[in-house]
Each structure stands twice: as structure tokens, then as C-alpha cells.
Amino acid sequence: MEDDKKLIARILCGEKEAFTCFVKKYQKLVSHVVFRLVRNETDREDICQDIFIKIYRNLGTFRYDSKLSTWIASIAHNTCLHYLEKKRVPLYEDLTDTETTLSIEQVAETGRTIIDAVISRDIGRCVRKEIDNLPHLLGLLVALYHLEEMSYEEIAGITRLPMGTVKSYLYRARKQLKTQLMNTYLLEDIWQ
Amino acid sequence: MAIMHLSDNDIQAYLDMIHNGLPADTRIVQHLENCKICQEHLTQYSRLYEILAVDKGYELSPGFVDGVVAAAMPESASERVNIWGTILLVAGFCLGLGVTAFFIDLRMLVLRTVESFKLFLLSINDILNYDTWAVVPKHHLDMYLLTGIILLFVSVGDKILFRLKKNHYCL
């Protein structure tokens, strides 16, 4: 927290170097949120850039009521929601199905990619592929909990969902991921 | 009697407890010690947690950081502080002008200023001579004094606010 305070003070004094450090430090977090929620590849980086500009402009208003990462993730989440609203992409509608249903072509395509990934032992890539098949919001929750190591409470604050809902969505996401992975592989490569 | 195995949620709740360094439910721990099926289930979830935690995520393009900094920083923070100063200065000027306009006939003031300036050009001695000022009625001089005091007050306030803002940003 102290490091963040110093970094923010330097940025507010106009130090470009400090802002470069800041972007490098938090680009992963922002990209996790954006890439999970926005599927349009051409817009993703522009949205990431918009988010950092927004953060820069509002940095003076950050009051340390929450962790800086939570504040940044909230801005990223809200920006993505705004983008999805503008593009009329539903974020919560796809949560009504308990399991993701893929077409035969999609299954074949996914299967091929995953088998390739398993052969090349790039486990991360095939898991990511599976996460991409989850509903947007579930993918985001998985990223925030497992990659950003945020608590249920922090995630609830970012997504403005009740903590119980966050928990149950995450349980559902993991169960779905496990099932998909088990269905797709013989699993020796993944589970051993 | 049917054996009650742990549900997916139970196992995930157990792993979350471990993940966050919290004590796990003893009922679940006891069951896991004795049940091979749930142990296998737990191993699979544990592996899933491990895999999810090491995902490198998505890579942004190499020039991303420079692009963001270039887009955000042309308007530096010190400039932003200066903008506040300028805004306050302009506001002070407008306020001063407004007060002056309220109390004094501006047209007359301008005419008299031009007149004074002409006199100034004619002779500096005329300016130094108190008689020149006698052209301006006495009560108008009071207004000038009032306006001057207001402008002074606003500019001092502006300086103080500018300093406070700067200190707030650059601790």
C-alpha cells in the first residue's frame, strides 16, 4: 500500500517514469478483466488503453478506502460493461444455462486446439480455451479469484454482485471447467 | 445405507479454506480421510486450482505501455495544477470586473482611463500632478480602491489555493 501511495504521488507530480511503472504493474489485471469480458479482439487493447487513461485522470480522487487493485478492477469492469452495453452484448443472459452447449463444429474446433495444446504440453493454453467457453462473467470471476488472488468480498465489490452469488458462480465455473476438461481429455496430461 | 459423498461445492469450499489459510471444516476433513472417491475428486479440483493459478493470461502488444503513457501524459499533473490556478485567476478577474461594473459606469471609466493615458503621453508631470486626478470624481476613487482590494484578496486566495493543491498532489 505504501509503495502504491508513493507511486501515485509521483504520477500526480507528473513523472512519466512513475506512470510507466504503474501501467506495467497493473496491465495484467486490466487485461484479465478486459479479455475475459470483451470477445472482440480488435477492441480489447483500445479498451485497455481507455481504462488506463481513465485511471490516470481519476487518480487524484482515489482515497485508499479499498485496495488500489480493487479500484482499478472496478474501473476496468465498469468500462467493459459500458462497452458491452453500447454494443448490445448481454453479460448476464448467458448465465441462465447451467452448462455451456457447443455446436458440433465448435466442439471439434475446440477439441483440435486443445489436443494440439496438450501435445505441445501447453496446459495453460488449453485451460484458457476452456475458460473462453465459459460465460463472460464466470471467466472474469475465475481470473480475479485465481490469477489476481482477490477475495470473494473484493470480487463482490468489483462486480457489484452479492458475495453469495459470486461464490456460487465461481463454484459453478470450476465445476464446469473440471467437467469440460475431463470430457475433452483422457486427462493423463492434465491431471497427473 | 447409502454413503453420502462430498458435493462439488463442499470440496471447493474446503479448498478455498486451505487457499485462504483458514481452518477447514472437521466434518469434511474426517470424510476425506476415509473416502477414496472424494479423495480422487479433491485431487482433481486441487489440480484445477493449480492450473488456474499459473495461467499467464493474455499478452498485450509490446508497444502498449508506451502508447498508454503517451496518450495519457501530454497533459501532465503540474499542468493540471496550473489549470486550476488559471481558472481561479480568470474567476478573480471576472469577479473584480463584475464588482467594478456594478458600482461604476464602465464607459465613463474607460473614457477617463483613455483621457488619463493621453495626458500621460502628453506629460509625465501631468500624471504626477494631483490635479490630473481631480478629473475623476472623488467617490469613483473609492470604487477603484475597493476594486483593487477585491482583486488583491482574490489573487492572495488564489495563491493559497494553488499552494494547497500543489502540496496535496506532491507530498
Q: Model confidence over A78-112: pLDDT tens digits?
A: 999 999 888 877 666 555 554 444 444 554 454 44
Q: Do B72 and A52 touch (CB under 8 A)?
A: yes
Count of CA atoms in the C-beta half-sphere (13 A) of A108: 3
Domain residue ranges of chain B, discontinuous segments joined by +: 8-54, 76-169
Q: Which residue has the cell 501631468?
A: B126
Full set of structural domains in chain A with CATH? 2-86 (1.10.1740.10), 93-191 (1.10.10.10)
Report how far Cα B140 is from the mean position of its chain's Cα atoms: 43
Q: Which residue has the cell 483440435?
A: A112
Nearest by CB to B12, from A49, A147, A171: name it: A171
Give mean pLDDT, residues B80-91.
78
What is the structure's pLDDT at A165? 93
B56 lies within 8 A of chain A by CB: yes
Using CB atoms, pick whichever of A52, A151, A175 lies closest to residue B68.
A52
Distance CA B73, CA B87 (A): 21
Amino acid B113 reads: T
Low-confidence winner among A161-165, B52-56, B77-81, B82-86 (lowest mean pLDDT): B77-81
Contact between B78 and A11 using a beta-carbon 8 Å cutoff: no
Residue A138 CA to chain centroid, in angstroms? 9
Cβ-Cβ contacts under 8 Å, B48 against chain A: 174, 177-178, 181
Q: Which cell numbers in the block locate residue B137?
A: 470624481
From A49's Cα to the closest Cα of chain B, the distance in A is 6
Checking ipTM against 0.85, whether it exceeds it is: no
Angle at A129 between CA A42 and CA B45, to 5 degrees: 140
CA distance B152 to B97: 13
pLDDT at A104: 46
What mean pLDDT value characterizes chain B? Answer: 77
- Mutation target vs A (from B45, B52, B81, B83; most A CBs, 10 A cutoff): B52
Per-residue confidence (pLDDT) for residue A15, from 0 to 100: 86
Counting every residue, how long is chain A? Answer: 192
